[in-house]
Amino acid sequence: MDIPANWQVTPEEAGGIANTRWWQQFGDARLNELVEIALDENRDVKIATASLEEYMALAGIARSELYPQIGIDASANRSRTAGMDKPPVPPLTANQFSGSLNLSYEIDLWGRLRKQTEAARADLLAREEFKRFVLISVAAQVAQTYISLAELDARLTIARNALESRREALKLTELRFNGGLTSELDVWQAKSEVASAEILIPQLEQQIQTEEHLLSVLMGSNPGPILRGKGIYDLTPPPIPVGLPSDLLNRRPDIVQAEKELAAANARIGQARAEYFPRISLTGMLGSASAELANLFTGPATMWQAGTNAAAPLFNAGRTKRQVDAAKAREQQALFRYEKTVLTALREVNDSLVSHLKTREQKEAQARQVIILREAYRLANIRYMNGYTNYLVVLDAQRNLFNAELALIRLESEILMGMVDIYKSFGGGW
């Protein structure tokens, strides 16, 4: 495939990603603990592990057919034949004991068994990459949910501070109204602002509990509260990983999985083609049979057989050809899935890099706006207290500052979550 030489965006920061637990770079011991628990207890991880064990067994089954198959056969029979009146023949009761060692071995001249084993091994490697993908996804989900909790905690703190501030403003407005310095409308407007803050707090508390429940399930436990570590502004943004786009072909598990699935589909074409040719097998048997159990292993009871068998299709109404055509079509599907996976990976990395850099620019501008709005709110309060403006100006400045502070927290959260997306899109430090 035509892989670009560089990313669309070249980040200024540089940091290694190979074989690191990237979530540790956030500098939060509690986050590290939660991720490690999830990687051990998450049910999707356990399902992926069990699936990998299944494919290991299937690969072993396919490989076993390359070797001779040896078995034993033993039997003991007692029979009675009916007698006859004319001519008189008495009933006959007889025993028959036998035991044998059997061997069969298919000579794989045309590579059918080798291709079958090759396909099974490629399936196993693809399933191993799928497990890696699950591990990376679970670690990313835990990290992003934890960051979301930290964001909601910060939003709740701002909302509670705003509620206290608005209650104090309401008391002051009522005093001014009682002293004849302001109108009753200002009092009702102040009460409205208090009510709006009171509405927001339970909404945030509900969202926090929902995120806690999600994080609990990700860790394989019952829904419940989650102990916190650092706050949203205390988490350390990790460095941006670097590497050429071609590195993704060997790093991202979904790409490697698609590659192995393509290899398996290719091997199955050879397996289907081998059906055109004869299957040649060697068979052998060594055993003994006797009417008396005590004589089963004596010389006269010994029997043996050795031979070869060849079977080839002469006419099956095009079934073999259709099987080869179907295998080729499946290989083409696997090829296109591989190409699509590569293109999707390139898009995801470019998207995550662009999103991260532009979100940082938004955060810097938002931080400047918060500083400006704080000063505007301070000045509006001073003008109101000195009778130079009405209370609507103060409320407007207060509302703008509150929304700007929430937006700043949201952008901080998006930057941290964007870093998780970057590490996940790069193949995530495994």
Domain count, the chain: 1
pLDDT digits (tens, 9 = 90+) for 185-238: 888 988 988 898 899 999 999 999 999 999 999 999 999 999 999 999 999 888
Q: pLDDT band at 279, cuts 50/70/90?
A: confident
271 in any annotated domain: yes
95 in any annotated domain: no
Asked if residue 88 has a cis previous peptide bond (ω within 30° of 0), the answer is no
405 in any annotated domain: yes
How confident is the prediction for the chain on average, in pLDDT? 87
Residue type, 41: E
CA 101 to chain centre: 48
Mean pLDDT of 342-367: 91
311 in any annotated domain: no
Mean pLDDT of 241-253: 73
Residue 140: domain span: 22-66+108-277+320-425
Sort 10 into a burial class: Cβ within 10 Å, 0-12 / 13-18 / 19+: exposed
User: The domain that contains 139 carries what CATH number?
Assistant: 1.20.1600.10
CA–CA gap between residue 219 and residue 213 (Å, rounded):
10
236 in any annotated domain: yes
99 in any annotated domain: no
Residue recorded with tokens 């609507």: 392
118 in any annotated domain: yes
**More confident call, 8 vs 264:** 264
Most confident among 64-68, 77-81, 85-89, 334-338 (mean pLDDT): 334-338
Nearest to 17 by CA among 344, 250, 219, 229: 250
260 in any annotated domain: yes
Sort 74 into a burial class: Cβ within 10 Å, 0-12 / 13-18 / 19+: exposed
CA–CA gap between residue 428 and residue 247 (Å, rounded):
12
For the chain, the C-alpha Rg in angstroms (whole number) is 38
CA–CA gap between residue 105 and residue 280 (Å, rounded):
9
* Residue 339 reports pLDDT greater than 50: yes
